A and B are shown apart, each in its own frame.
Chain A
Amino acid sequence: MSSVVKPLLQAFDIHKSFGGLKALGGVSLSLEQASITGLIGPNGAGKTTFFNVLTGIYKPDAGHTEFRGQTLPAGLPHLVAARGIARTFQNIRLFANMTVLENVMVGRHVRTSAGVLGAIFKTAATRREEMAIRARAHELLKYVGIDARSHHVAGTLSYGDQRRLEIARALATDPFLLALDEPAAGMNASERAQLGELILRIREDGRAILLIEHDVKWIMRLCDFVTVLDYGLCIAEGSPLEVQNDPRVIEAYLGVGAA
């Protein structure tokens, strides 16, 4: 699977422990441009922890990540977002008391620049920017299919719509890489199918996607590459087909002896 293009992201030997618990014991990972990569593994394998390290919420104990040819700042989430990685959360973290539209508008923060003076004096530039933010937010809400709810309070949306809103908010930061932590959790089959389509569309726009998911069938259909974590270690990676037949993966998922 070698390509001439440099990978979009390369994580090198990431370690992270919580007290005595080793959540990540040296994870290396590489993501291609405009690809969909699945990150799977049993509960507690360290998938979310990897996301948290990647997006700067936790500082790794060791290891570093290169993104678009530059080393990512460790432990500084806002700078990671500025570099072009956006994420959603396993347990949805919307700004629950703000409206749907406002949530997405917050996502534009990092790509806009109006400051205190601009706000206070309502300069022409600020007003233009504000209008552009609003327009882009509506566009994204249409893109994920919840524009009709733009003036509802985020916390009152249905579960599936909250997931979509989180994706729209993340997309508002113009990411090169979108990291989704169990976006399909709690969705029924048809919602899942819709979400799959949305993810494919995002990829077509040229963005790469890193996806944590438990539904192996769904992910195998969607992803170009799959990486399997178990006990904080990367135990397999490759195309869905390769991974599916890897005895270590079967063992990790089904327990010893099943292979």
Chain B
Amino acid sequence: MKRLLWAAAALTLLALPLFTDATLGHGWVRILDFALLYVLLALGLNIVVGYAGLLDLGYVAFFAVGAYCYALLSSPQFNLHWPLWVLLPLGAMVAACFGVLLGTPTLRLRGDYLAIVTLGFGEIIRIFLNNLGAPVNITNGPQGVSGIDSLSVGSYNLGQTHGWGFFEFVPVVNAYYLFLIGVLLAIVFSHRLERSRIGRAWAAIREDEIAAASMGINTRNLKLLAFAMGASMGGLSGGLFAGFQGFVSPESFTLMESVMILCMVVLGGMGNIAGVVLGAVLLSVLPEALRAAGPLQQEWLGRVVLDPSNLRLLMFGCALVLMMLLRPEGLLPARARQRELHGE
């Protein structure tokens, strides 16, 4: 029975993009692709916030590092065209290094200070990306890097349409499968980490850092590890993003993006993989429905009174507040969180 359910779920996941493409069009498959990238990001942030209890408000910086890493080494910018299997791990590794770099001086700080410092770090990265177009052109400044090579696995170029018998695999569908592999790997990794010696140590640090240290846990190293692991998932996601979009610019890596990822983790349920996945999917798909709000207003009121992009962010902001007030453990809470907030 259980096996049957798994098979059905797997089949649904595999068929979803083809079905969506056939019924709703490329646009919606693209939305699914982004949902998967956000799931990957949210799972990464979940390691930092959900497992280790460190509030990171600059998480998008690691996404940016991964994306620029890919963009600079696989585009006309420096005329480098490294392959995917080098770039993705490299991006993850560089992001992890940035995670350690940020963590080393700051992890001794109290939780709320850490939040501010990570936020600052996120902004610093963005400011550098914005300004490293001159005097030496590294990032091409605010214009960003374009003409990035499309994702390709071996000789299979995901940026092109491939017909396989009856099915047609357009670029957005190809990307879906690649991203899905990334997400599934991230889920398995997260799950295993959570139930390991390392995961227990993270939970202990989150619960009581002093007691954890007295039990022989090297709290600094384990927090750094959480930062690095989370960052590497962000970096991986960034690489996929760059290859998929073909274009990156600093604008994609604002604080709002960090907040949105945090929102996904919080809404779904910090520390619980299923919750985080749900939060990420909801918050990346639902706002798309709001896009319709603009034309609707045009039709009914004669003009656009409420800008849809404002509405979207407003929704995120209110969701954060309301979730904390009404259901702080998230939609699908982790066991420990529920206890923490409501007792038994």
Contacts and interface: CB of A to CB of B under 8 A. Distances in A.
Contact of A106 (B204, B336, B344): B204
Interface residue SS majority, chain B: helix
Interface string A74-105: 00011011100011010001111110001001
Interface stretch (B38-46, B211-219, B302-310, B315-323): B211-219
A156 B204 contact: no
Interface in B286-344: 336-337, 339-340, 343-344
B215 A86 contact: yes
A55 B215 CA distance: 10
Contact of B336 (A97, A115, A122): A97
A172 B214 CA distance: 12
A98 B215 CA distance: 15
B211 A93 contact: yes
A115 B215 contact: no
B197 A95 contact: no
Contacts of B336: 97-98
Contact of B192 (A93, A111, A120): A120
Contact of B219 (A78, A87, A102): A78
Interface in B166-182: none
A156 B198 contact: no
Nearest to A174: B216
A169 B196 contact: no
Interface in B184-228: 188-189, 192-193, 195-201, 203-204, 207-208, 210-219, 225
Contacts of B208: 93-96
A109 B216 contact: yes
Contact of B196 (A80, A94, A111, A130): A130
Interface residues of B, number: 33
Interface centre among B188, B201, B215, B339 (most CB of A within 10 A): B215
Interface string A112-126: 101110111010001
A44 to B, nearest CB: 21
Contacts of A118: 196
B210 A95 contact: no
A238 interface: no
B222 to A, nearest CB: 9
A39 to B, nearest CB: 17
B32 interface: no
A94 B211 CA distance: 7
A132 to B, nearest CB: 11
A89 B209 CA distance: 13
B203 to A, nearest CB: 6
A46 interface: no
Given A119-B192, A126-B196, A57 B210 contact: yes
A114 B216 contact: no
Contact of A95 (B189, B211, B225): B211
A215 interface: no
B198 A106 contact: no
Contact of A109 (B200, B207, B229): B200
A129 B197 contact: yes
21 contacts: A77-B210, A78-B217, A86-B214, A95-B211, A96-B340, A97-B336, A97-B337, A98-B200, A102-B200, A106-B201, A107-B215, A109-B216, A110-B215, A111-B216, A114-B197, A116-B198, A119-B197, A119-B198, A120-B188, A120-B189, A169-B215
| Top 6 A-B pairs, shortest CB-CB distance | A110-B216, A81-B216, A119-B196, A95-B207, A93-B211, A77-B213
